[in-house]
Amino acid sequence: MQTAKEGTAATQSVGMGQIALLTPPGSANAVLGSCVALVLHDERTKLAAVAHVVLPASNCRPGTPGKFADTAVAWMLDELMKKGADKRYIVAKLVGGANMFASNGPFQIGQQNAEALRKHLQDAKVRIAAENIGGTQGRRITFDPSSGRLNVEVAGQSVLCL
Amino acid sequence: MNSCETNSLTATPWANLFEPATRSASDAISRWTRRRMELTLAEVRELTLDELGGELPDRAGPSTIVTVAIAGDLSGQMILLFDDTQARYLAETLLNRKHEETESWHELELSALQETGNVFGSAFLNAIASLTGQKFLLPSPPTVMQEFAASVIEQAVMLQLTESDNVLYCRTGMLRDGESVDFMALFVPSTELLEQLRQAIHAQLMN
């Protein structure tokens, strides 16, 4: 199973459970429902990673690091620092976690994903610079590490820049 | 994709279960639209998360989507995905209206799409219930939305992903008067319903 996509290709699509490691001028996009995109960005070196997190906790289940909030944060920080990122300059952005079917049960997973990511980021002492979480609509995001701009599209609305 | 794909030992039993349900939905939709609508079982298999990523529709903009939840303990979701043109064509046909270039949806058109979801969902679920020995599987009132298709599918598969690492992916396509239509219907059962379906398949194989 593919753990991470890497490179400077024009735009990488980050699927469920995947992580993209970005070096400018490469960018990444993802389409999100209840999953949450975690962007970690070193504002000084412009190195970045984007994860498409599916579930809040691995609980010893198999899967790529990007699938779970706990494994994603640790893996992304480790890889970014191996590439020369400085943790002091890394900031996080969180997008997604919708509840599109407005019901209980597994459809509430989006909020749990976001809460788990906030906790693991806090434990790792990474500042959350921006969030766009929850609601009842899906999102399409594009992240450009050279500018740090995270564009969020919601169907029928104008593009939001975080 | 118009043929039934197989990727595992269970592929044919899955098709044996879902083909009659697809035929039942096909007949019901033809009666409802008064047109020759042929629904085909395009694909049914269990996918890993990586494989699922490759199957999600890669549409640039939002799609018109009708969702039908399965009520009760044996829950699940049915998702009907149209491109906007096809959804408008369907609604106009059902309402016997001339084509109108507009971006907004009238209440009556939305109602026609909801009823299409209801007709499709009821026929499909009745057939599944009958084949699995369930008394009934009840569709909830359908919801129409303009959404990114991948977002909706991602949310629906959470029914299985919270407890499993694979997803049962059942997709149908559509021919209208012999012409392929940009449409797909997906059936995503909960883990409980999936288990019932597995038991039904096992029983079929034993007979």
Stronger pLDDT, B143 or A102, i.e. the higher one: B143
| Chain A to chain B Cβ contacts (< 8 Å) | 87
Which three-class secondary structure state does DSSP give residue B55? helix
* Reported confidence tier of residue B190, pLDDT bands at 50, 70, 90: confident
List pLDDT tens digits, range A12-55.
999 999 999 999 999 999 999 999 999 999 999 999 999 999 99
- Whether residue A2 and residue B77 make contact (CB cut-off 8 A), yes or no, is no
- Region B108-115: mean pLDDT is 91
Which three-class secondary structure state does DSSP give residue B83? coil
Share of chain A above pLDDT 70, in %: 91
Per-residue model confidence (pLDDT) at position A130: 97
**Residue B163, CA distances (Å) to A66, A69, B159, B191 in order:** 17, 16, 8, 7
Hey, which residues 73-132 in chain A have their CB within 8 Å of chain B? 98-101, 103, 105-107, 109
The total of other beta-carbon atoms located within 10 Å of residue A146's CB is 13
Give residue A133's identity as a one-letter amino acid code.
Answer: I
Per-residue model confidence (pLDDT) at position B10: 41
Provide the shortest C-alpha distance from residue B29 to chain A (in Å): 24
- Whether residue A100 and residue B150 make contact (CB cut-off 8 A), yes or no, is no
Active site residues of A: 35
| Preferred mutation among B81, B144, B147 to probe A, highest tally of A CBs within 10 A | B147
Per-residue model confidence (pLDDT) at position A69: 96
* Chain A residues within an 8 Å CB radius of B50: 1-2, 15, 17
* Chain A residues within an 8 Å CB radius of B155: 33-34, 98-101, 107, 138
Nearest CA in chain A to B156: A107
DSSP string, A70-105: HHHHHHHHHHHHHTT--GGGEEEEEEE---TT--SG
Q: In what order do the strands lie in the sheet with A48-53?
A: A4-7, A19-22, A48-53, A36-42, A90-96, A127-133
* Reported confidence tier of residue A152, pLDDT bands at 50, 70, 90: very high
Residues near A92 by beta carbon (within 8 Å), at least 6 away in sequence = A38, A39, A40, A41, A117, A121, A126, A127, A128, A129
Q: Which of B54, B155, B165 minimises the CB distance to A34?
A: B155
* Reported confidence tier of residue A6, pLDDT bands at 50, 70, 90: low
Please, are residues A118 and A21 in contact by the beta-carbon 8 Å criterion? no
| Preferred mutation among A55, A100, A141 to probe B, highest tally of B CBs within 10 A | A100
CA A21 to chain centre: 11
- Region B34-48: mean pLDDT is 85
Phi, psi of A82 (to 5 degrees): -60, -30
Tokens found for residue B59: 């549409």
Which three-class secondary structure state does DSSP give residue B109? helix
Mean pLDDT of chain B: 83
* Chain B residues within an 8 Å CB radius of A18: 53
* Chain B residues within an 8 Å CB radius of A106: 158-159, 162
- Whether residue B49 and residue A61 make contact (CB cut-off 8 A), yes or no, is no
- Region B70-93: mean pLDDT is 85
